[in-house]
Structure 1
């Protein structure tokens, strides 16, 4: 959060179970009932909304709102587990999903969501800083 001094956040006991987080202006509320790892993941998505979304997008039946949701979610995914993070894992011989989850304090389902979003955006692999990153299964090679 130090990167975003204009934002404030707090954990909320009264949020509906199906609502993990919400941002209003520069205030983020995170559902207190989530695991710490899930809170971190949701916080990144809400910061993504702050940086990429204008106005109220709660009506997800509107295609523009759905697209804004995807953009914010993808921003959060890539903030939490960037290509540079994946190369850091390669350099440290962190090779399995379990090791990656432990290193970045993420749930396996969140890592899988991030990798799927990379596949959706880039296809099965991407070249980054002299490495080939394959997403499914996750594999990194120096090229």
Structure 2
């Protein structure tokens, strides 16, 4: 998935660089078509994927310098980039895919999806905020966000009803 995001960035003309920032608080930055990731502040591949996705989200959804998070408009742009990353890395169908693969528990689901548990939880929280307690993914499945689970629907055979 990390390679896929790198490729997506490249296709859209976004350069991805790696740089050791003095502060470990800075894990990634997006400025003028360049994403810079701080490998010393990132502890795992899943974390790298989540940060790259968010920074790519800034490319697609943000404008200007939004470092001052005391500014409401900047916070809104930050949230928009995060939401983009949630939908990009974990669309509803991927959660359903994990269910079909019989993956259980948040740790295992996050591992299966290649993201951090924190990112998975933030994504679930976003979907719950957007859809409510549950959402129909297709004609055969309802995805519940609290507790996280899938209800599989079976078609009725009208010829064999009582």
Q: TM-score, normalised by structure 2?
A: 0.81
Give the direction of change, closer, same or farther, for the CA distance of 1:15–1:110 in structure 2 (3 Å limit).
farther
> In 1, Cα distance between the equivalents of 2:109 and 2:29?
27
> In 1, Cα distance between the equivalents of 2:95 and 2:86?
13
Give the direction of change, closer, same or farther, for the CA distance of 1:15–1:117 in structure 2 (3 Å limit).
farther
> In 2, Cα distance between the equivalents of 1:25 and 1:31?
17
For residues 5-26 of structure 1, what are the alpha-carbon distances to aligned partners after superposition, in whole Å with 9 as ceiling and x for unaligned? 2111122212522122110111
Point out where structure 1 has 5 or more consecutive residues left out of the alignment: none
Of 129, 145, 152, the match for 1:135? 145
2:97 aligned with 1:79, yes or no? Answer: no
**Superposition RMSD on alpha carbons, in Å?**
1.5
Structure with greater proportional helix content: 2
Q: TM-score, normalised by structure 1?
A: 0.91
Aligned to 2:68, what secondary structure does the other structure show? coil
For residues 42-99 of structure 1, what are the alpha-carbon distances to aligned partners after superposition, in whole Å with 9 as ceiling and x for unaligned? 1000111100111111222221111111111111122111101111112222232122
Instruction: After superposing the two structures, state which structure 1 stretch, 119-128 or 34-43, moved more.
Output: 119-128
When the two structures are aligned, how many residues end up with a matched partner?
Answer: 143
Q: Based on CA coordinates, which of the two structures has the bigger radius of gyration?
A: 2
Q: Where has structure 1 moved over 2 Å in runs of 4 or more?
A: none
Give the direction of change, closer, same or farther, for the CA distance of 1:31–1:15 in structure 2 (3 Å limit).
farther
Question: Pairwise mapping of residues 41-56 of structure 1 onto structure 2 (< 5 A)?
Answer: 41-56=50-65
